[in-house]
Amino acid sequence: MKILIEAFAAPGCAKCARSRAALKAVVEALGAERFDWRDVDVLQQIDRAVALGVVSPPSLAIDGELVFPALPTPERLRAELTRRLADAA
Amino acid sequence: MRATAPASARQAALQTGHLRTLSNPRRTDETRSPNAGDRSSHAEGAGEHGQPALYYEREGRIRPAAKSAAGYRLYTEEGIRRIAFIKQAQQCGFSLREIRALFELRATDDACCDDIYRVAVEKKLRLERKIRALAAMSQALTRWIEMCSRDRRSLDACPIPGALEAGLAVDGRAAPKVLQAPAKSA
């Protein structure tokens, strides 16, 4: 089963886009087919954002859990995803 | 308006109507009845119970330009605008601490519209969260009210205090046994 990654951001946030690109690169390096990456506009999908407790985007949720209220470094994301992949194996 | 000659710039401003009280920005202090309220009441235009203006005055962010002989705080147009900003921000749900952060942001040279946009988005998310929590709380109260037998039994038999003690999750996910509605007496 794919790991769901939801990247919450406000529209038009250039900084968010840059950070997101670096994190997406991590996902692709680990195998894009193992993940379901979704970009979530907090204003368009505010119910989802609020349900997960997003209050200060950009944030990252993994499998429906707000693991990173603030975007992590690529290294931290890699460590988290590697651990989850190992747990799932 | 007093007929005395202005002894200072403040007095001059006062006499030309440039200094105003908060409770009626269109009225200068000198035209306001001293019986209309005590000194603290003049901050009421800034928010509940007049505290915000006093809070920011203590912080040095807003200062009355002068005080009248009757003790009324008098503000410049800029002061009035700042207080209106505080009042509006409070009505949008910003706390005093958050408003202070907004003031600091406004005073930052390299701050831009995007910074305020980010603050507004974050505030909206927090408000939406609070709205949902309040709605869930209201629903929980509805359930508890429906459970209550409204008879003369002791409080020990009433489900509402029990539900509160049990820390029932307001979204209804938790349903402790204590919330089982008591059988109504015939």
Q: How far is B128 from chain A (nearest CA, A)?
A: 7
Q: Which residues of B touch A19 (CB under 8 A)?
A: none
CA distance B32 to B46: 18
Q: What is the pLDDT of residue B46?
A: 40
Choose the closest CB to A50 out of B114, B117, B125: B125
Exposure letters A37-54 (e unless 16+ CB within 10 A, then b): beebebeeebebbbebeb
Are the Cβ atoms of B125 and A42 closer than 8 angstroms? yes
Given the structure tokens 């928010």, which residue do they identify?
B47
Are the Cβ atoms of B126 and A57 closer than 8 angstroms? no
Q: What is the pLDDT of residue B16?
A: 53
Q: Which residues of B touch A56 (CB under 8 A)?
A: 122, 125
- Looking at per-residue confidence, does A24 or B56 come out higher? A24
- Residue A7's SS3 state is strand
Is A13 an interface residue toward B (CB < 8 Å)?
yes
Is A16 an interface residue toward B (CB < 8 Å)?
no
Of the candidates B96, B8, B6, which has an alpha carbon nearest to the alpha carbon of residue B54?
B96
- DSSP code, position B20: B
- Looking at per-residue confidence, does B179 or B169 come out higher? B169
Identify the bridge partners of residue A39 per DSSP, sorted by sequence position: A7
Of the candidates A26, A24, A5, which has an alpha carbon nearest to the alpha carbon of residue A16?
A24
- DSSP code, position B174: -
Q: Residue A47's pLDDT band (boundaries 50, 70, 90)?
A: very high
Q: What is the pLDDT of residue B180?
A: 39
CB of B13 closer than 8 Å to CB of B76: yes
The residue of chain B with its CA nearest to that of A52 is B129
CA distance A57 to B50: 34
Stated pTM of the model: 0.62
Q: What integer best gives the mean pLDDT of chain A?
A: 93
Q: A9-18, A35-44, B11-20, B169-178 — which is least confidently predicted?
A: B169-178
Q: What is the pLDDT of residue A42?
A: 94
Are the Cβ atoms of B122 and A50 closer than 8 angstroms? no
Are the Cβ atoms of B124 and A46 closer than 8 angstroms? yes
Q: What is the pLDDT of residue B158?
A: 81
- Looking at per-residue confidence, does B28 or B156 come out higher? B156
- Looking at per-residue confidence, does B133 or B112 come out higher? B133
Is A54 an interface residue toward B (CB < 8 Å)?
yes
Q: Residue A49's pLDDT band (boundaries 50, 70, 90)?
A: very high
The residue of chain B with its CA nearest to that of A57 is B122
Q: What is the pLDDT of residue A3?
A: 96
Of the candidates A3, A1, A13, A66, which has an alpha carbon nearest to the alpha carbon of residue A43?
A13
Q: Residue B37's pLDDT band (boundaries 50, 70, 90)?
A: very low
Q: Which residues of A touch B122 (CB under 8 A)?
A: 55-57
How many contacts (CB atoms, under 8 Å) link A and B? 30
Q: What is the pLDDT of residue B45?
A: 43
Q: What integer best gives the mean pLDDT of chain B?
A: 69
Given the structure tokens 């408003």, which residue do they identify?
B99
